Amino acid sequence: MIRIICLLICFSGLNLSAQMLNNEKGNLFSETPFFNEKYIRSINLKSITGTISSKKELGSIKSSGIKESYIFDKKGHLVTHYLTTKFKNKYDTIFTFYEYIRGNNTVVRVSDSYGFYSYSKAYDSLDRIISKTFSREKNASNSKIHFKLEEKYIIFEEAYQYQIRDSVNIITTLNSNGRPYQIQKKIYNQLGYLENSQTRFLISNKNNKQTYQYNDKGFLKSIKYFKEQNPIPVKEIKYDYDEWGNVTFMDEYKDNERVVHKELLYHPSTLILKTILSQDLVSNLITITKFKPEFYN
């Protein structure tokens, strides 16, 4: 009861920061951290752990024995994500670890069947990424969850240069040899919303483009992905929100055909993520993830 009262007090002061998930850049459920750190910190949330069930067409709901968890530090940063997987009746767990300096995510480290790989990022004074390094890493520990770096092998490095021209940000990507190979233009409207992102590969001259739309409250409504000069998006993701700005629906389209539908449910008293319902519209498989929160004392 004391915990609920404390959460309600925190919630009453959150106002428009009450969204647990930060979808400003459309990074939901990617390797990029997508939680609202201010919200996580304000309610002392330590983790949410989900049990996953599934339902085939005309079948009953069955527990998969698979779990997924997001773990946070006391500053509200996502520090660990793990997901158990099952292949040929064998279970494995994929871990993703995050490190931060001055609030910026500097390292993303992921386990795989060969050990670990990582992306390390450096930032300038404007919090822009100026370099990224991809490495293979060897774990000195016998346990995945207690990672301790023993050896690191740098595979490749990239650097980024920035230019700002009115409402257009131009990002030039340099390869490991220090030569440019890609130019990205991000175009913003007069209110500061990203409307268009264009990427061109300098050697092949191939082009990709993403367009962004927003709802009346300024929340991201859709992202369309285009290749070359094809006017039909190869992919599109649409979002819907509740009155608090929490994402409630996600629909993914491929070649204008909807292929995945997700519904996100929240605890009504705290707006902590409670359940994710995901339907593969090709196979009609429904996946249900029910989360249980844990708090810092």
The pLDDT of 42-46, averaged and rounded, is 96
DSSP 119: E
Residue 26 has pLDDT above 90, yes or no: yes
Q: Where are the domains of the chain?
A: 17-295
Q: What is the pLDDT of residues 118-134, one digit of tens each?
A: 999 999 999 999 999 99
Of residues 288, 290, 239, 287, the one with CA closest to residue 267: 290
Of residues 143, 148, 198, the one with CA closest to residue 168: 198
- pLDDT above 70 as % of the chain: 94
Q: How confident is the model at residue 90 (pLDDT cuts 50, 70, 90)?
A: confident
The pLDDT of 24-47, averaged and rounded, is 96
Residue 288 has pLDDT above 90, yes or no: yes
User: How many residues are recorded in the chain?
Assistant: 297
Q: What is the pLDDT of residue 17?
A: 56
Q: How confident is the model at residue 57 (pLDDT cuts 50, 70, 90)?
A: confident
Residue 6 has pLDDT above 70, yes or no: no
Q: How confident is the model at residue 9 (pLDDT cuts 50, 70, 90)?
A: very low
Q: What is the pLDDT of residue 81?
A: 97
Q: What is the pLDDT of residues 169-202, one digit of tens each?
A: 999 999 999 999 999 999 999 999 999 999 999 9
Q: What is the pLDDT of residue 1?
A: 42
C-alpha separations of 149 from 109, 112, 137, 169, 229 in Å: 11, 15, 7, 37, 45
- Rounded CA separation 171/131 (Å): 12
Better-predicted residue by pLDDT, 144 or 172: 172
17-295 CATH, one of 3.10.450, 3.40.190, 1.20.120, 2.40.160 = 2.40.160
